[in-house]
Amino acid sequence: MRKKDLLFVAVAICTALIFAGHLLVKNITDATTGAWGLSFRQEGAAPVAPASNRELSRLDAAYLGDTGEKVIYLTFDAGYENGCTARILDILKKHQVPAAFFLVGNYMQTHPDLVRRMAEEGHIVGNHTMHHPDMSKISDEAAFRKELEGVEQLYKEITGQEMPRFYRPPQGVYSKNNLEMAQKMGYKTVFWSLAYVDWNNDAQPTAEYAFSKLLPRTHPGAVVLLHSTSKTNAQILDELLTKWKEMGYRFASVAELFPAEEC
């Protein structure tokens, strides 16, 4: 092949790669809204997500940890209390496992005792907004700030401390504008790479079903989303943590998802 032809091929390949890269970034930079969803294609491997950690990192967001290390980041979402959280906290204490609890304003107002316990026992209490709305529909920065600052104020009243700046969009619905506004407020947005349908209290899964969905999909660097309202989760958590340990996993704080200088 002549040098001229080689040069043409090289330019064409580079152009294609650049174009592909722009398409990849478009998922984050141009999308008006998105719902977080996962596609599991290989047992024991991280799923395919709507955006890569590299893309998300530009907006101080993450959904996955180090895929080269057997580490799990355990998180819980809670919009209200269902009598399960004390049991969950007991089990976390027994196993010395740190977790992040993303709470809405109603939870903070009605169960300050549990919020204090979470903080006192070394867990992160994250921001899940005051009213659990579809945040992607909030384009006004003042309205967005109000949803997060209300939770911050409640946390400070309850604990006497500033709230850790970790945010999870309700139902995982987000927009680029939302992520930018959270970033501007100093927040790290935490999505997830492993979850199952545990939130419906009228149709709680069996323990066997829960294990069948969680264990085969467990992967290095997994950010696990569970709901602390789930009676099934309270029932299986002791055994689940034991099984994960037997699989060689350690547990880490979601703060480790982000470079130390940014936290």
User: pLDDT tens digit string along 15-34?
Assistant: 333 333 333 334 565 444 68
User: What would the pLDDT profile of 160-173 be if each residue is shown by its tens digit?
Assistant: 999 999 999 999 99
Model pTM above 0.85: yes
Split at pLDDT 50, 70, 90, the class of 259 is: confident
- CA-closest candidate to residue 49, choices 58, 60, 92, 61: 61
**Token duo for residue 13:** 């390949």
3-state SS, one letter per residue, for the chain: CCHHHHHHHHHHHHHHHHHHHHHHHHHHHCCCCEECCCECCCCCCCCECCCCHHHHHCCCEECECCCCCCEEEEEEEECCCCCCHHHHHHHHHHHCCCEEEEECHHHHHHCHHHHHHHHHCCCEEEECCCCCCCHHHCCCHHHHHHHHHHHHHHHHHHHCCCCCCEECCHHHEECHHHHHHHHHCCCEEECCCECCCCCCCCCCCCHHHHHHHHCCCCCCCEEEEEECCCHHHHHHHHHHHHHHHHCCCEECCHHHHCCHHHC
What proportion of the chain, given as a percentage, has pLDDT over 70?
86
Residue type, 167: Y
Q: If you average pLDDT over every residue of the chain, what do you get?
A: 89
**131: its two tokens:** 């009213």
**Across residues 100-124, what is the average pLDDT?**
98
Paired with 189 in beta bridges are: 61, 167
Which residues form the catalytic set? 77, 227
Lowest mean pLDDT among 29-43, 74-88, 116-130, 224-238: 29-43
Q: Is residue 84 predicted with pLDDT exceeding 60?
A: yes
Of 16-25, 198-207, 225-234, the poorest mean pLDDT is in 16-25
